[in-house]
Amino acid sequence: MNYDRYLLDPGSVRRARGHRHRVDQSSSGAQIGNRPRLGTVLAVWAHPDDESFVAGGLLAAASDAGSRIVCLTATRGERGTADPARWHTSRLARTRTRELAAAQAVLGIDEQRWLPFEDGACHTIAPGHGMALVAQAIADVRPDTIVTFGPDGLTGHTDHQAVSRWTSHAWAARGSSARLLWAAITADTKRRMAKVESVAKAFYPGYPTVTPDHSVAIRLDLTGDLLDRKFSAIRAHATQSASLVHRMGEDGFRRWWATESYIDVGSGAAIAPHHRTSPLIRTIPSHRTRIQRDRLTSPWRNQCSTR
Ligand SMILES: [Zn+2]
């Protein structure tokens, strides 16, 4: 997310536990126990650390449930520092790439792919170009679930907003049958995050936008092992998180992003045919948005609450 945090904290990485369940990746939507059927997941982000801050709980839980998880990141986050003397841009891209690898080990992400874009400049990329590259990834990975930012970019970052546009348009244009999830923030989460925003400075002015509770399909209120893993992954991104941990305190930092909410935009089949071929869709038509509610049952219920 590029919070301009840059203290190294290499001791924070906790390795993923060895209890992952693997399933045949060809068995689309495979389910273990009563866990959600996310199947193969393609997670599309703008910067190294977005996957952990925004969706670390969901990705770790999906990994535990046997999902193949592929992460696609648009930039290396090479401008994500306010202290270029300490984290020179020539090193920061490499450092953040290593941090991402460590975070992925914690979360159980199977594969990392990159787009070749410049940190902070995604909004300058021709929308059709960004969309085409994401569409290629969708074709290659054949995900059952795609997760990314909502159109607001969650924090209001223009890179996040561009990635959301590319991904949502690629999903619609391809008529992908994958389920598309947009990360969102509800009113109660916004209120809780507002209490630390003067320190955290995560959001641009006017953000986050609030998603009504009734539009949230999946909500995770993380506790226990999933919370531990999410924050271990975030702390693996030490260039972004270490000084925040120091300033917010361990407990405050853990609670900061402990809730994840997702809008279920639906399946590609819900998009009108004439939109599927257009690279210029500005929004997903709301009347075609299909909101679903996951029924998260044990053992997820120990970690998550349903809305
Ligand atoms: Zn970001």
pLDDT (tens digit per residue) in 237-277: 988 888 888 888 888 888 899 999 999 887 544 444 433 43
154 C-alpha to ligand 1 centroid (Å): 9
23 C-alpha to ligand 1 centroid (Å): 31
196 C-alpha to ligand 1 centroid (Å): 18
31 C-alpha to ligand 1 centroid (Å): 30
Using 50, 70 and 90 to split pLDDT, how confident is the model at 7? very low
Where does the chain have alpha helices with state H? 50-64, 89-107, 127-141, 153-156, 158-174, 187-194, 197-200, 224-236, 238-248, 250-256, 273-276
30 C-alpha to ligand 1 centroid (Å): 30
Query: Rounded CA gap, 152 and 86, in Å?
Result: 32
Domain count, the chain: 1
Q: Provide the sign of the torsion angle of the four alpha carbons 240, 244, 246, 250, taken in this order.
A: negative
148 C-alpha to ligand 1 centroid (Å): 11
Residue 172 lies in a domain: yes
Residue 22 lies in a domain: no
Q: What is the DSSP string of 57-103?
A: HHHHHHHHTT--EEEEEEE--TT--S-TTTS-HHHHHHHHHHHHHHH
Q: What local confidence, expressed as pLDDT, does residue 14 receive? A: 29
34 C-alpha to ligand 1 centroid (Å): 32
Using 50, 70 and 90 to split pLDDT, how confident is the model at 4? very low
Using 50, 70 and 90 to split pLDDT, how confident is the model at 132? very high
Q: What local confidence, expressed as pLDDT, does residue 23 receive? A: 31
Residue of higher predicted confidence among 38 and 290: 38
38 C-alpha to ligand 1 centroid (Å): 23
Q: Which domain holds residue 45?
A: 37-302
Residue 8 lies in a domain: no
Q: Going edge to edge, which strands form the sheet with 145-149?
A: 111-117, 69-75, 41-45, 145-149, 179-184, 259-267, 218-221
49 C-alpha to ligand 1 centroid (Å): 7
Q: b/e map of 246-272 (b: 16 or more CB within 10 Å)?
A: eebeeeebbbbbbbbbbbbbbbbeebe
Q: Is the pLDDT of residue 280 over 50?
A: no
Worst-scoring range by mean pLDDT, 64-68, 80-84, 108-112, 165-169?
80-84
Region 169-184: mean pLDDT is: 89
Look up residue 12 and give its DSSP letter.
G
2 C-alpha to ligand 1 centroid (Å): 6
Residue 276 lies in a domain: yes
Closest to 78 (Cα-Cα) out of 134, 10, 8, 6: 6
Residue 75 lies in a domain: yes
Region 77-86: mean pLDDT is: 76
159 C-alpha to ligand 1 centroid (Å): 7
Residue 284 lies in a domain: yes
Q: What is the CATH number of the domain that holds 233?
A: 3.40.50.10320
Query: Rounded CA gap, 72 and 219, in Å?
Result: 23
Query: Rounded CA gap, 240 and 234, in Å?
Result: 8
3 C-alpha to ligand 1 centroid (Å): 8
State the average pLDDT for the chain: 77
179-184 and 259-267 strand pairing: antiparallel
Burial class of residue 212 in the structure, from the number of CB atoms within 10 Å of its CB (0-12 exposed, 13-18 middle, 19+ buried): exposed
> What pTM was computed for the model?
0.78
Region 75-88: mean pLDDT is: 78
50 C-alpha to ligand 1 centroid (Å): 5
In angstroms, how far is CA 90 from the centroid of its own chain?
A: 26
Residue 7 lies in a domain: no
Q: What are phi and psi of 113, to 5 degrees?
A: -125, 155
Query: Rounded CA gap, 144 and 267, in Å?
Result: 10
Query: Rounded CA gap, 148 and 139, in Å?
Result: 17
299 C-alpha to ligand 1 centroid (Å): 31
Residue 30 lies in a domain: no
Burial class of residue 125 in the structure, from the number of CB atoms within 10 Å of its CB (0-12 exposed, 13-18 middle, 19+ buried): buried
54-68 per-position pLDDT tens digit: 999 999 999 999 999
CA angle 292, 28, 140 (to 5 degrees): 105
Q: Which two structure tokens, joined as six digits, stand for 245? A: 């941990």
145-149 and 218-221 strand pairing: unpaired
